[in-house]
Structure 1
Amino acid sequence: MRSDAVKKGMQQAPHRSLFNALGYTEEELERPLVGIVSSHNEIVPGHMNLDKIVEAVKMGVAMAGGTPIVFPAIAVCDGIAMGHVGMKYSLVTRDLIADSTECMALAHQFDALVMVPNCDKNVPGLLMAAARLNIPTIFVSGGPMMAGRVHGKKRSLSSMFEAVGSYSAGTMSEDEVREYERRVCPTCGSCSGMYTANSMNCLTEALGMGLPGNGTIPAVYSDRIKLAKHAGMQVMELLRRDIKPQDIMTEKAFLNALTIDMALGCSTNSMLHLPAIAHEAGVDLNVDIANEVSARTPNLCHLAPAGPTYMEDLNEAGGVYAVMNELTKKNLLYTDLITVTGKTVGENISGCEIRDKEVIRPLDNPYSQTGGLAILKGNIAPDSAVVKRSAVVPEMMQHEGPARVFDCEEDAIAAIKEGKIVSGDVVVIRYEGPKGGPGMREMLNPTSAIAGMGLGSSVALITDGRFSGASRGASIGHVSPEAAVGGPIALIEEGDIIQIDIDANSLNVKVSDEELAARRAKWQPREPKITSGYLARYAGLVTSGNRGAILEIKK
């Protein structure tokens, strides 16, 4: 066992004395040491129940003959961090989580790991750590929140942000906003739509790193506790069979995940996280392949904010496995890949049929013949930009309008609230990328303000920051290269005509190459907004545009 390095032999007598100080018995030290990475805290609604999940995992590990040992991972609530300097710290925690988990796992020589994340950056951060460490590992998330209900209709956190925009527009009273405030987030769990947390938990299942139901069983269901016990038991089977993350997270597994991403209509943030996880697993996943995958993958789900259904509905309709099984009818998945169940993808999903064809549409009646995400390119985004096409209304799939240019999120929101943005405009928010932010903030506030003002079907937004899975409309984010490194988005001027064609995967400004070159010659880099602390060190490591920049930190 790996843990013999801290348990066996005369040289390890001091180590054993410290285990003795912890209260471990000789019998426990004879067993494999299983690290349980707990993201529990009391500031993230998706993590407040993880202490219960961890206790269930511990029981499962012990039942199967292991010694469970818990250590923590940090977690940021993106909703609470939204709209102020805190959002600059969200994405960067992903790398902190991966790094600190690596440190703990190797310093203490655990034989296996159970990862217990739930929200936006913990899931990819821990998947990165699992791939990097490559010791037997299984994931069990905390599960999604139940949808709220306001005036008899299901609602979620994105409804809350849009309610604030409606208040600013004068179409909703303060009392009505308070009603939303009390009701849209009724339970613990990751927010109830197909936002980043739920996207990544579902993709963990699709990758083969979580048991069935990992992405969809609601946080408040007893089945979630049972799932955690089974995860604890199953990690011991993975250890016995020496099945490691890199045996599971192969290139074909990532292609499966990207296919499921398209079918579910996941968050645009998955285009940041999947390549980073793949990088740690030794797989080169260039998201340029996303359009190729999208072209052959129908979009089968319109979960909030793209539609009126929620994670609880997806769970009842058959969950991720039902979506996967449906896709195999067009031979869209690799089914011979090993997973944490100890079985292949094909064995896992056999017989998992759709139970509600309004929540998960069959192949002969998809929402669209192409997937839920699209990668755009053009003279604004030579490398890439990402849009959640499943959440774009048909009339905005092609759009042309004048640029309204802002160099930070706050200025854009102020203009929106003051009524300075009108139908047809294209809001451009730049210097919000990994280096320019620094930290690549998520732009749910401006998208929600636009929707709340009744402009969601007539105004587009473009940024070198990120758009959330909770965003809807023609919200195009992750523009790369970012403005801070001289990307063309830095050269757009007020009133320039922006052309968006999502069907053609293009994003351009109607300015000649000669004019752009002249503007580039005059462009001057901006001074960083944060000059000390962790964010400054993070920004100093960023030398290129968005998704490449995130990976570059680890190279």
Structure 2
Amino acid sequence: MDDTPHPDDLLNVQTKAAGPAGNLPFTPEMLLSRPSGDVFALSQNAGMGWNPAQLNRREILILSTQGGIRQPDGTPIALGYHTGHWEVGLLMQAAAEEIASRGGLPFAGYVSDPCDGRTQGTTGMMDSLPYRNDAALVLRRLIRSLPNRRGVLGVATCDKGLPAMLMALAAFPDLATVIVPGGVTLPADGGEDAGKVQTLGARYAHGLITLKEAAEAGCRACATPGGGCQFLGTAATTQVVAEALGLSVPHAALAPSGQPIWKEMAQRSARSVLDLDSWGITTRDILTDEAIENAMTVHAAFGGSTNLLLHIPAIAHAARLRRPSVDDWARVNRATPRLVNVLPNGPDDYPTVLAFTAGGVPEVMLHLRRLGLLHEGCLTVTGKTLGENLDAWEHSERRVRLRALMWDRDGVDPDNVILPPDRARARGLTSTVCFPTGNVAPQGSVIKSTAIDASVVDADGVYRKVGPARVFTTERAAIEAIKGKGPQAVQAGDILVLICRGPMGAGMEEIYQITSALKYLPWGKQVAVITDARFSGVSTGACIGHVGPEALAGGPVGKLLDGDLIEIQVDRNHLVGSVNLVGRGETVWGAEEGERVLAARAPRLDLQADPALPDDTRLWAALQNASGGTWGGCVYDVDSITAFFGG
């Protein structure tokens, strides 16, 4: 059937309309004293269809990273960039209806976000981390541009959109703010998770999967249409951190997208932001140095993504709090046991939704409280302290019924997903993040020590490796070498060095296609990676990133040559490590001589920024470099920038 309007209807253009009926709720004070913007705003609100008699209500702004266009039944009209922002409009709707039913006036704004999975191995990855800063800037401008807002709900899910939302809300200390995490997608029954499925190309190249198997696995990876990935990557970890900061209602992170318990979380959040405004509790009261340390502790207990080493300092900076240092991260991780057994680092490969049904963040915090590792007096968006929230959670019907459901329906012991400390030690779960230094990384580096395959770790808990360097300046060349192409084909025992991929070289791209390929190749655990780039939260293996200084900033990593002997040591028990040049070919000098050799060497002649690096990202790299660089969270520190440029 042709729905095209008849030409007579199409061209019958109206030039006037009756306008809304009723009267605006003006007062003499408003007309005499308020700015013209406040007066005109009511005209616009009525013009958009809101009942004029209900316009003198508290304005609550709901900001979201929603993307795509859906029919009411969920059928796509236009796709979003990723599942994580596809359904969050439903959370916004549930929150808006709750706000309106309680006498508030909801507004909504949108700043969509890209997908790191979609841009893996492409030039799109050069915009990924810089996007976070840009989105936070735009979100802040949107908040300020609704002058009479009394509170803000930030609805976001994924790797850059949720950190950006946290940075934006943190910058408003005098406003009531609440984060609504967008939840997770479910794994396919019998299918591969969204992390493993990204290795199809490498596995096919080595004959480990057929074309038909690849096509079927790729089709089924995302079993439900919304939510972040099923593993504890950066998206899921950031949801966990938001709740640990006290900025989300209890048991919000990792909820299954689209389900009633997910929408109920949005309704609780809406009630919370209205209550906070009524009580006079603002972001300043919740987001404190102690809350930042709670978030770092929970991050360690979950075994979360190393990308939060960029995002938590950025959130602290936005809130004008002290940014945690490398020493702070090391101290927290040494003190905190890892308790969560989920993808990608848990021995049983449980999806993150099972962490939610096992009790989520509150359950982990119960264990941490018993160990004396939390600041229980921190205020949260419930208006109660963290300790009071945990008391309520421990004896809640919700906790009892969800944990029983895991036994009855999934056949999973919830204490095997979120492990009591004694059981975690017995299963061999080790603490999360280590910061190796040495003559290759004098400013430091990061390795997720939990992600090193246990079979290549010595009995004393130390990973030791000496191997020849295979140096690449582009990700494309490195992945081709992993697939066995070209004269530099990577083999078991090699140390893959990927440089010129930090902020100045490639926007500090995420190199998951490399780490994931190595994870799913039989010999991949015999290869280590050293890079000035960053990793996906789902990355595993002996992968050392954030190497500082980066190659293009004069770092010694930019002087390494093919055939150099590199020694890596990572103590997973004490979280100390080193990465050193110790020889060349068959000759071993040791780390001290290696430092002298690197000091005398000129940088490689092939060091250069990627020719495709956008000017936008080059500007971001310069600004964040003047603001403390990657170890400062890749932020824009205005005072540092103006001082750096002589302002």
Both proteins in one fold, TM over 0.5? yes
Q: Distance in 1 between matches of 2:92 and 2:30?
A: 24
- State the one-letter code of the partner of 1:534: D
After TM superposition, give the deviation of residue 326 of structure 1 in Å. 0.7
1:348 maps to 389
After TM superposition, give the deviation of residue 139 of structure 1 in Å. 0.8
Q: Distance in 1 between matches of 2:211 and 2:444?
A: 40
After TM superposition, give the deviation of residue 542 of structure 1 in Å. 4.1
2:91 maps to 53
After TM superposition, give the deviation of residue 453 of structure 1 in Å. 2.6
After TM superposition, give the deviation of residue 477 of structure 1 in Å. 1.4
> SS where residue 400 of structure 1 aligns?
strand
Please, what is the CA RMSD of the aligned residues? 2.2
Q: Distance in 2 between matches of 1:27 and 1:37?
A: 25
**Structure 2 CA distance for partners of 1:363 and 1:10, relative to 1, 3 Å:** closer
Alpha carbons 1:543, 1:549 under 8 Å: kept = no
> SS where residue 189 of structure 1 aligns?
coil
After TM superposition, give the deviation of residue 225 of structure 1 in Å. 0.6
1:174 maps to 211
> SS where residue 140 of structure 1 aligns?
strand
2:508 maps to 440
Residue 432 (structure 2) pairs with residue 372 (structure 1): yes
2:100 maps to 62
Counterpart among 367, 388, 393 of residue 448 in structure 2: 388
Spell out the pairing of 1:143-182 with structure 2 (5 A cutoff). Answer: 143-150=183-190, 155-182=192-219
Residue 151 (structure 2) pairs with residue 82 (structure 1): no
2:177 maps to 137
Alpha carbons 1:193, 1:311 under 8 Å: kept = yes
Cα deviation 1:8-27 (Å, max 9, x = unaligned): 74532334333343334444
Counterpart among 352, 363, 371 of residue 421 in structure 2: 363
- State the one-letter code of the partner of 1:219: S
1:291 maps to 330
Gaps of 5+ in 2: 1-26, 69-79, 404-413, 458-462, 583-592, 641-647
After TM superposition, give the deviation of residue 523 of structure 1 in Å. 6.8
Counterpart among 508, 511, 523 of residue 580 in structure 2: 508
After TM superposition, give the deviation of residue 368 of structure 1 in Å. 4.6
Cα deviation 1:436-484 (Å, max 9, x = unaligned): 11x1111111112222332232111111111111111111211122112
**Structure 2 CA distance for partners of 1:121 and 1:528, relative to 1, 3 Å:** same
Alpha carbons 1:259, 1:332 under 8 Å: kept = yes
2:559 maps to 491
Cα deviation 1:45-88 (Å, max 9, x = unaligned): 11111111110010121123211000111211111111101111
- State the one-letter code of the partner of 1:114: L
After TM superposition, give the deviation of residue 552 of structure 1 in Å. 4.3
Residue 261 (structure 2) pairs with residue 223 (structure 1): yes
Residue 627 (structure 2) pairs with residue 546 (structure 1): no
Structure 1 stretch displaced more, 483-492 or 262-271: 483-492
1:402 maps to 468
After TM superposition, give the deviation of residue 160 of structure 1 in Å. 0.4
Q: Structure 2 length normalisation: TM-score?
A: 0.81
> SS where residue 166 of structure 2 aligns?
helix
Q: Distance in 1 between matches of 2:272 and 2:604?
A: 60
After TM superposition, give the deviation of residue 276 of structure 1 in Å. 0.7
Structure 1 stretch displaced more, 235-244 or 369-378: 369-378
After TM superposition, give the deviation of residue 392 of structure 1 in Å. 1.2
- State the one-letter code of the partner of 1:390: T
Q: Structure 1 length normalisation: TM-score?
A: 0.94
> SS where residue 30 of structure 1 aligns?
coil
Q: Distance in 2 between matches of 1:521 and 1:56?
A: 56
Alpha carbons 1:297, 1:369 under 8 Å: kept = no
Spell out the pairing of 1:457-496 with structure 2 (5 A cutoff). Answer: 457-496=525-564
1:123 maps to 162
Aligned length: 547
1:535 maps to 617
Q: Which has the higher contact order (CA 8 A, sep 6+)?
A: 1
2:357 maps to 316
Alpha carbons 2:157, 2:181 under 8 Å: kept = yes
> SS where residue 301 of structure 1 aligns?
coil
Alpha carbons 1:301, 1:361 under 8 Å: kept = yes
Cα deviation 1:196-217 (Å, max 9, x = unaligned): 0000001111110111222121
Structure whose alpha-carbon radius of gyration is higher: 2
Structure 1 stretch displaced more, 355-364 or 316-325: 355-364
Q: Distance in 1 between matches of 2:633 and 2:354?
A: 36
2:35 maps to 11
Alpha carbons 1:408, 1:432 under 8 Å: kept = yes
Cα deviation 1:155-179 (Å, max 9, x = unaligned): 3111102333211111111111112
1:338 maps to 379
Q: Distance in 1 between matches of 2:614 and 2:44?
A: 38
After TM superposition, give the deviation of residue 423 of structure 1 in Å. 1.0
Q: Distance in 2 between matches of 1:271 and 1:102?
A: 22
1:32 maps to 58
Q: Distance in 2 between matches of 1:50 and 1:453?
A: 36
> SS where residue 504 of structure 2 aligns?
coil
After TM superposition, give the deviation of residue 118 of structure 1 in Å. 0.5
**Structure 2 CA distance for partners of 1:52 and 1:297, relative to 1, 3 Å:** same
Structure 1 stretch displaced more, 311-320 or 447-456: 447-456
Spell out the pairing of 1:128-277 with structure 2 (5 A cutoff). Answer: 128-134=167-173, 135-150=175-190, 155-187=192-224, 188-277=226-315
Alpha carbons 2:309, 2:633 under 8 Å: kept = no
Alpha carbons 2:468, 2:563 under 8 Å: kept = yes
After TM superposition, give the deviation of residue 369 of structure 1 in Å. 6.7
2:644 maps to none
Residue 152 (structure 2) pairs with residue 113 (structure 1): yes
Structure 1 stretch displaced more, 197-206 or 454-463: 454-463
2:369 maps to 328
> SS where residue 436 of structure 1 aligns?
helix
After TM superposition, give the deviation of residue 111 of structure 1 in Å. 1.6
Q: Distance in 1 between matches of 2:145 and 2:272?
A: 24
> SS where residue 525 of structure 2 aligns?
coil
Q: Distance in 1 between matches of 2:319 and 2:159?
A: 20
